[in-house]
Structure 1
């Protein structure tokens, strides 16, 4: 069963790695194509546009290579059997944030070719989101401006004077109120 899960993750990673390799080329090609079609007056581009494009392309390039490196499944060259499926590229956290940065970069690259250079202002979403995360999880709670939701729920249970019950315990309680014989048998066996 675990081997099936490893094969599934390896297949997902293979398709994601292929998409990442295309993601480095396609938005850049579309940017150049749309710039040629819709903004002929800005050819050759100004130094500012080249600097912005380079400034945003480099993180995109490095993040793509990082995700390709950690997500590429390793196979035995002679038999083709799976040695390692790589890191799961669908996991939450840093991997997800890397993909978010890539998507925003792709949108800005293609959008600036289509609509103009003002689209690069959308790239500010990335540092604003990072500041939001830092404030929400570290700075805000340190100064008492917000508590994580789990702490709020625990405080509500503690203030009510009732111990927290799990979903299973609530379900068993409802069954016992209905007179379910399975619950009565469990209460006899309990501590």
Structure 2
């Protein structure tokens, strides 16, 4: 099944007027209006702060945000694809929408980075700049615990001739991928 947009002409018009060679900020927001249909719901010339109030807790939404950046003393822009997953979106709905993620990215081309957002209070110009930086190793803003966070469990064992040994299991359901041993004699 493919993702459809019900107002593509409006989307293209907004892209051409907001993302010009001289613009240093702007954003476009897509909302779902059907199981496989999105709608350009809003757009603006401001920065990401103007858009965050439109992110809904029970929705998956997509946006492209333009940021003004300094690279080597030169002013430039970075267009960032933002995938919002609200806290009220269930796992079944997330899985359904995951299949449309790449198609939504294609609708909002061009962009130079992608950031996934789970907490709109932490979605600021600063965090978006940091997480969309090409050198960043983390492109997620506020990963919810229990869903995609890495769980690390520590066990303290008492052994003869050794006061303590700490073992870290990266995945408790399988053989440890990495074991760290600290011994105190």
Pick the TM interval, shorter chain: under 0.3
Richer in strand (by share): 2
TM-score (norm 2): 0.23
Which has the greater radius of gyration? 1
Relative contact order (C-alpha < 8 Å, sep 6+): which is higher? 1
